[in-house]
Amino acid sequence: MNGLKEKYGHTAMIAGASEGLGAAYATALAKQGFDVVLIARRVEPLNELADKLRNAYKVQSTVIACDLADKDATEQIKLALGERPIDFLVYNACVSYIGPFLETEIETHLRIAEVNMITPMKILYHFGAEMLKRRRGAIVMMASMAGLQGSGYLSTYGATKAFDRIFAEGLWYEWKNKGVDIIACCAGATATPNYLNTNPKKTSIFEPKAQTPEEVVVECLTKIGQTPSYISGRSNRFASFLMQKLFSRKAAVNMMGDTTKKMYDIKY
């Protein structure tokens, strides 16, 4: 994971940086010497993290408060950055909803689609093009194991995470010989405040242990440039091998839905 700054440039931008995985990416990249641009809605935790990184690693840290569900989020970010180039981009932010598809308003699903698919597409359209012009850059798209098969009670979220992976893989092919590396990280359960706040119940003794955000980040930053996408963590890779290669698609979809139902005590 060393040498990322020498390879990719000076400034990293993390969309969804105020806590959990986003904060862990920001910390790891600042530790490598990148100046960081931190984006999320809540300014207070962003400012705290920015101060911490400035003091610990003597890097420049900039905060941009932005709701990535806004249709003009990319324009807001471009305006805040001015001419400043972004060399390393992490799209980490996401919205999710756990429960039966019809038991929340359509607006929730549209918001999930906006933050998890439409905004990253717009952000990559602009910042990816800038990286290609300089023939240098790196992009991490956070995907999820929920996107590896239909995921009942996470139907919209899972579908957007499948999009994130497939989108990144396609761009990996298009950009691989043009100096821009892109990777989709398919994480499993990760002990972020967001995940822990959902109060997941343990469903079986064979369930993979949640990774720490730092574990996910180290693995991702080690793998970037080597593969279009990967599954984070050995036990998640094993679980995914069983689900994708040994089970029928029907069995995998059933197992995913049954596990989520049990995990969140869903009566439906």
Ligand X SMILES: NC(=O)c1ccc[n+]([C@@H]2O[C@H](COP(=O)([O-])OP(=O)(O)OC[C@H]3O[C@@H](n4cnc5c(N)ncnc54)[C@H](OP(=O)(O)O)[C@@H]3O)[C@@H](O)[C@H]2O)c1
Minimum CB separation from ligand X for residue 141, in Å? 8
Which residue, 120, 110, 181, 112, is CA-closest to 146? 112
Q: Choose between 21 and 252: whose C-beta lies nearer to ligand X.
A: 21
**Among 16, 120, 128, 150, which residue sits at the site for ligand X (rule: CB under 6 A)?**
16
**If you ran DSSP here, which 8-state letter would residue 135 be given?**
T
**CA 45 and chain centroid, separation:** 19
**Cα–Cα distance, 137 to 87 (Å, whole number):** 5
- 134-170 burial, b for 16+ CB within 10 Å, e for fewer? eebbbbbbbbbbbbbbbbbbbbbbbbbbbbbbebbbe
Least distance (Å) from ligand X to the CB of residue 15?
Answer: 7
How far is the C-alpha of 33 from the C-alpha of 88, rounded, in Å? 12
Using rule CB under 6 A, residue 115 touches ligand X: yes
Q: Which of 5, 7, 41, 178 binds ligand X (CB under 6 A)?
A: 41
Structure tokens at 94: 């996401």
- Residue 209 interacts with ligand X (CB under 6 A)? no
Are 45 and 194 spatial neighbours (Cβ–Cβ below 8 Å)?
no
Stretch that binds ligand X, among 50-58, 63-71, 218-226, 254-262 (CB under 6 A): 63-71
CB atoms inside a 10 Å sphere around CB 200: 17
The reply on whether position 20 binds ligand X by CB under 6 A is yes
**If binding is defined by CB under 6 A, does position 18 make contact with ligand X?**
yes
Q: Which of 69, 90, 154, 243 binds ligand X (CB under 6 A)?
A: 69
**Among 28-36, 170-178, 184-192, 238-246, which window interacts with ligand X (CB under 6 A)?**
184-192
What contacts 86, CB < 8 A, 6 or more positions away?
11, 12, 13, 37, 127, 130, 131, 137
Report the residue from 11, 13, 22, 97 that binds ligand X according to the rule CB under 6 A. Answer: 22
Residue 21 makes contact with ligand X by CB under 6 A? yes
Q: Among 3-11, 61-69, 75-83, 168-176, which window interacts with ligand X (CB under 6 A)?
A: 61-69
- Gap between the terminal Cα atoms of the chain: 45
Other C-beta atoms within 10 Å of 39: how many?
29
Among 4, 37, 40, 139, binds ligand X (CB under 6 A): 40
Query: Under the criterion CB under 6 A, does residue 67 sit at the interface with ligand X?
Result: yes
Residue 158 in contact with residue 147, Cβ under 8 Å?
yes
Q: Does 19 bind ligand X (CB under 6 A)?
A: yes
Smallest separation, CB 98 to ligand X (Å): 11
- Residues 185-204 binding ligand X (CB under 6 A) are 187, 189-190, 192-195
- The residues binding ligand X (CB under 6 A) are 16-22, 40-42, 66-69, 92-95, 115, 142, 144, 161, 187, 189-190, 192-195
